Chains A and B, each alone.
Chain A
Amino acid sequence: MATAPVESLRIADLHAFYGESHILHGMNLVVNRGECVSLLGRNGAGRTSTLRAILGLTGRRSGSVMLNGRETIGLAPHRIARLGVGYCPEERGIYSSLTCEENLLLPPQVGANGMGVDEIYAMFPNLKERRHSQGTRLSGGEQQMLAMARILRTGAHLLLLDEISEGLAPVIVQRLGEIIRHLKEKGFTIVLVEQNFRFAAPLSDRMYVIEHGQVVAEIAQHELAERREFLQEFLGV
């Protein structure tokens, strides 16, 4: 890389709670602009909670979450999103009281250069076909596409994608992989939370392994082969 990396997201000593239960225990991680970074780990390790904590969707938080050099730990979720964060939740979060198109148009603009609706329909032709259907009447794959498409429209530059390949047919997972690659080429910064190592590994520039609400290892793409044994032990892959 010719230019020095610019930090898009820096999390330092982040603690988060749901009520009384302490779920993140001093997370530290950095994601540079244009990078695709995966958070790996077992169920309950704190990966989803990390994404939720970035947006302020957990209970009490302490520590630091910097977005483009700006501290966000004290901001309300809608203020954080407005700094250019797009979130695709694990349960997809498609609204049943909205049509497919209303779902797509719901999130407000949070940055410049969001994709146009036509561009999005070209990328996801199914969504155009089904734009008047109730959101939750779409198939699982279509709902996942919608959940992705929805945040591409907003101009968010940092995408937090939670288990997007979960429960989908292999051909759709493959399509999602192509989309992620395409988004990387377009310069998006992506944080993937993935159970599916085989899906995440080839897409990621770096991976963080998370356990008990902390980062226990950081693995770059080129270290993947030599760290395979470690990953096998940790993730059972």
Chain B
Amino acid sequence: MVEIFGVPLPALMGQLMLGLVNGSFYAMLSLGLAVIFGMLNIINFAHGALYMAGAFLAWFGLQYWNIGYWQSLLLVPLVVGAFGIVIERTMLQWLYKLDHLYGLLLTFGLALIIEGLFRDQFGVSGQPYAIPDELSGALNLGFMFLPKYRAWVIVASLTVCAATWFAIEKTRLGSYLRAATENPKLTQAFGINVPVMVMLTYGFGVALAALAGVLAAPALQVNPLMGSNLIISVFAVVVIGGMGSILGSILTGLGLGVIEGLTKVFYPEASATVVFIVMALVLMVRPAGLFGKEK
């Protein structure tokens, strides 16, 4: 069998794929955080809880309402996005003029409440979510078996990230968003309805988290703590990529997933901490993150 540094190739490729899958979730979540932070100036600590809520909503759908995976992929982000808009209108909109700390505290409190409600109902054990028939099984690539669902997660999330990047950087609506992020008052003085854009941005960012949650449901177990397990790494990704940078959050998310996967192969003891080691190293050299701009 072919080996690389003493590791069988299929094992190495397997971990690399897992790393990419995790990286896909990091990328989608940190992308949402970046867009929200840019526009609302709020560090959305509720992001992990809403990702978890997305996964649970998909599970409810399958379990009780006869809503399949593919419908959930569309419906769940809409429902959670709408919930996000309610949060923004009723709570967040009062915090924009205050220090970051207030937004962080409020969303952290929301995360605790949402997670607490799910834990109260479902405990901490995971609920299984079956992989849809179309995506079950694996492809034999010769040098490895590639589970179809993992490949799908990577392709789907890369497509979503690329589309988001394109929409923000290359379209007219995106130019409104960039302008409103950079100078909201002046942008409003040109006649653009910035408060509505802010509201929709939060809804969109949160919908991305929910979409990641639906994608994660069959890949991981649906568990009330799945968000808080992931979100700490996601914040590290955001810091490494540079707060508020769109491209930075996507590339860093994928990159760190891969680094984490490879660490699991070569030095498993460090796999839980490698993200934070990278963060410390990056911050020593570039305090604003890899893609961030110094203020």
Which residues from chain B contact A89 at a C-beta distance below 8 Å? Answer: 186, 189
In the complex, the answer to whether A106 meets B188 with C-beta atoms within 8 Å is no
Q: What 1/0 mask marks residues of chain A from 104 to 134 whose CB sits below 8 Å from any chain B CB?
A: 0111101000000000000000000000000
Q: What 1/0 mask marks residues of chain B from 182 to 225 whose CB sits below 8 Å from any chain A CB?
A: 11011111111111000000000000000000000000000000
CA–CA, A87 and B186, complex, Å: 9
Looking across the interface, which residue of chain B has its beta carbon closest to that of A83? Answer: B191
In the complex, B179 has a CB within 8 A of chain A: yes
In the complex, the answer to whether B175 meets A78 with C-beta atoms within 8 Å is no
A148-167 contacts to B (CB < 8 Å) = 150-151, 154
In the complex, A98 has a CB within 8 A of chain B: yes
Looking across the interface, which residue of chain A has its beta carbon closest to that of B187? Answer: A106
Tell which of A77, A82, A106, A151 touches B175, judged by Cβ atoms closer than 8 Å: A106
Tell which of A80, A93, A105, A154 touches B183, judged by Cβ atoms closer than 8 Å: A93
Knowing A76-B195, A98-B175 are in contact, say whether A106-B190 is a contact too (CB < 8 A): yes
Looking across the interface, which residue of chain B has its beta carbon closest to that of A92? Answer: B186
Which residues from chain A contact B179 at a C-beta distance below 8 Å? Answer: 95, 97-98, 106
In the complex, B172 has a CB within 8 A of chain A: yes
Give the interface SS of chain B, mostly helix, strand, loop or mixed.
Answer: helix
In the complex, the answer to whether A105 meets B175 with C-beta atoms within 8 Å is yes
Looking across the interface, which residue of chain A has its beta carbon closest to that of B190? Answer: A107
In the complex, the answer to whether B178 meets A81 with C-beta atoms within 8 Å is no
In the complex, the answer to whether B183 meets A78 with C-beta atoms within 8 Å is no
> Interface range on chain B: under 10, 10 to 19, 20 to 34, or 35 or more?
10 to 19
Which residues from chain B contact A71 at a C-beta distance below 8 Å? Answer: none
Which residues from chain B contact A80 at a C-beta distance below 8 Å? Answer: 189
Q: Which of A57, A93, A154 lies at the interface centre, i.e. has the most chain B CB atoms within 10 A of its CB?
A: A93
CA–CA, A93 and B186, complex, Å: 7
In the complex, the answer to whether A87 meets B190 with C-beta atoms within 8 Å is yes
Q: What 1/0 mask marks residues of chain A from 81 to 103 whose CB sits below 8 Å from any chain B CB?
A: 11000010100010111100010
CA–CA, A107 and B179, complex, Å: 10
In the complex, B181 has a CB within 8 A of chain A: yes
Which residues from chain B contact A97 at a C-beta distance below 8 Å? Answer: 178-179, 181-182
In the complex, A55 has a CB within 8 A of chain B: yes
In the complex, the answer to whether A78 meets B172 with C-beta atoms within 8 Å is no
Which residues from chain A contact B188 at a C-beta distance below 8 Å? Answer: 76-78, 81
| Closest chain A CB from B187 CB (angstroms) | 8
B131-186 contacts to A (CB < 8 Å) = 172, 175-176, 178-179, 181-183, 185-186
In the complex, the answer to whether A78 meets B185 with C-beta atoms within 8 Å is no
In the complex, the answer to whether B189 meets A95 with C-beta atoms within 8 Å is no
Which residues from chain A contact B182 at a C-beta distance below 8 Å? Answer: 95-98
In the complex, the answer to whether A108 meets B192 with C-beta atoms within 8 Å is yes
CA–CA, A152 and B179, complex, Å: 18
Looking across the interface, which residue of chain A has its beta carbon closest to that of B168? Answer: A97
8 further interface pairs, Cβ-Cβ under 8 Å (given A55-B189, A106-B179, A106-B187): A77-B189, A78-B189, A78-B191, A81-B190, A87-B190, A89-B186, A95-B179, A98-B178
Of the A-B pairs whose beta carbons lie under 8 Å apart in the complex, a sample of 8, sorted by A's number, is A55-B189, A78-B188, A80-B189, A89-B186, A97-B179, A98-B175, A98-B178, A107-B191
